[in-house]
Chain A
Amino acid sequence: MEAIKEAPIPAMDSLTSAMKNNIVPNQEYLLQGSVLDSAVEVLLHRLRGLCDNVDSGPETFHDHEMCFSIRSVTPQPLTLRVRRAIDYLDMPYQLRYIGQPELGDKSRPTILRNSIDVATTPTIVDFLTEMGFRMDFEYILRGYMFRKGRMKITVSKIFKMMVVGKPAPESVDPISQSYLVELSVLAPSNQDAIAEDMRVFAEQLKPLVHLEKVDYKRLTQPPL
């Protein structure tokens, strides 16, 4: 008889040890900016030159994101985001938690926020609804994705859905005359060196796009 195989390690234990060993990419370093529709071609051209996926050209995406929230004991509702690809219907859905963005002081080049994501099946929407989550808002993103080392750069147009649950092109409306530009890296904790690389990369996109740490607290205040 063969030797008795070791008992499989329970999933929770391996997750805990992964967290302890600091190999779970649970933090997102983020810089945001915008570019006017008229200048987006120039930006795409420059990104094509700067980024890794030169040969294949920029990757396009067309996503639908729904933001769900649930009220619990804390005053702040818990928010989860579900994202699905409209152009690839057989792709898994993505469920994502995003924490409060930390702005940090001047010496920190990027925003830092907790981020956990997982691939799911389409039934996630029913699952969340059954749990008591309610959909807060939804939108359509359409744009281009670039890579540079560990950095991800997205240039996306945000559309409002005029008809709830209908992402058809004729029933969506762009919410501004600009594209949203995001530069992000998912990394385990305490890898602050990458933030410096992001600052250098953002510097190369000036003056076309100014990627910056957007202060979310100031956005919630109504404009005077």
Chain B
Amino acid sequence: MQREDKQLELVLENFQSKLNEFKAQIYALIFKLEHERDNVNWTTVLDTFAVFSTQYTAIMKYLSYEKLPQLRNYSVLPLMLNPERDEDLARITENRVPALSHDIVPDFLRTKTEPEVEHKLMQVEHKAGGLQFETAQKQLAAFNKVVNHVLDLVSKAREEWEVETGARVGIGQTSSVADLHTLVSAVSMGKNLKPMVPQVSPGGMMVPPTGRPVTPSMGPNTPPMGMMPKPPPGMKTNVKAAGAPHPYR
């Protein structure tokens, strides 16, 4: 008997941890919906629901595992109802249930559907039972037709999509790592963009680099000769001119 109790406890503990995990995921979704409402797209929500569904199935599978004690064979009985606020209860239910009062017990400890719902269900079942066989067949055929039509549409769209993606693979290379590095080092460090340091002017005179101070740190950034076309002679004089009044004034 005691062994059984222990087993039950273990199962409940496992079950609870699974439920908590599930709960955390639902919280995460609600948080996302509340705070990033504008940026949520339907595919991510759909993915999240797929995860929920898997979780749910896993939990149900776990519960129906034969070796586990059948939880449905255990009943929960309210021994005492109390309209006063119960701090312990509020804490373990994260403030959802402040008191085990007459109001909520019928809802929380319910094992059957509400009488109203039960009645409606009965009505529907009765209606289904009283249906003529031929009418049922007819409705079934019509429904099948609609579903098949939708299926056709979807598979046709899928086929088209696959052809399109197939064609896209054929485009070949669309980006180059070398170009990326050229661009990024130009934008971030000015590689290949800094004005060339003039060595000797056409007249054989040293041109002072007045355009900007030449610092030793510029050395590694100066592109090796041959990588870039030499600037035309006109460029050098222009560099010198840059020392004069600022061009953006």
Residues on A close to B: CB < 8 A? Answer: 32-36, 38-39, 42-43, 66-67, 71, 77, 122, 125-126, 129, 134-139, 149-150, 158, 160, 162-166, 175-178, 180, 193, 197, 207-210, 214, 216, 219-220, 222
Contact = CB atoms under 8 A, between A and B. Distances in A.
Given A126-B249, A163-B235, A197-B39, A136 B175 contact: no
A35 B174 contact: yes
A126 B246 contact: yes
Given A39-B174, A178-B179, A219 B238 contact: no
7 contacts: A36-B176, A136-B194, A164-B242, A175-B182, A177-B176, A177-B179, A209-B174
A108 B239 CA distance: 43
Interface string B192-205: 11110000000000
B159 interface: no
Contacts of B231: 162
B192 A160 contact: yes
Contacts of B238: 163-164
Contacts of B212: 134-136
Interface of B: 36, 38-39, 171, 173-176, 179-195, 211-213, 215, 217, 220, 231, 235, 238-239, 241-242, 246-249
B246 A129 contact: yes
A222 B239 contact: no
A163 B247 CA distance: 11
B232 to A, nearest CB: 8
Given A139-B193, A150-B39, A166 B247 contact: yes
B185 A219 contact: yes
B175 A39 contact: yes
Given A125-B249, A129-B246, A149 B38 contact: yes
B195 to A, nearest CB: 6
Nearest to B232: A162
A47 to B, nearest CB: 13
B172 to A, nearest CB: 9
Contact of A175 (B186, B217, B235, B248): B186
Nearest to B193: A137
Contacts of A67: 190
Given A125-B249, A136-B190, A137-B194, A220 B180 contact: no
A197 B32 CA distance: 12
A187 B54 CA distance: 35
Contacts of A136: 190, 194, 212
Contacts of A137: 190, 193-195
B174 A42 contact: yes
A126 B38 CA distance: 43
Contacts of A32: 180, 184
A197 B192 CA distance: 34
Contacts of B242: 164-165
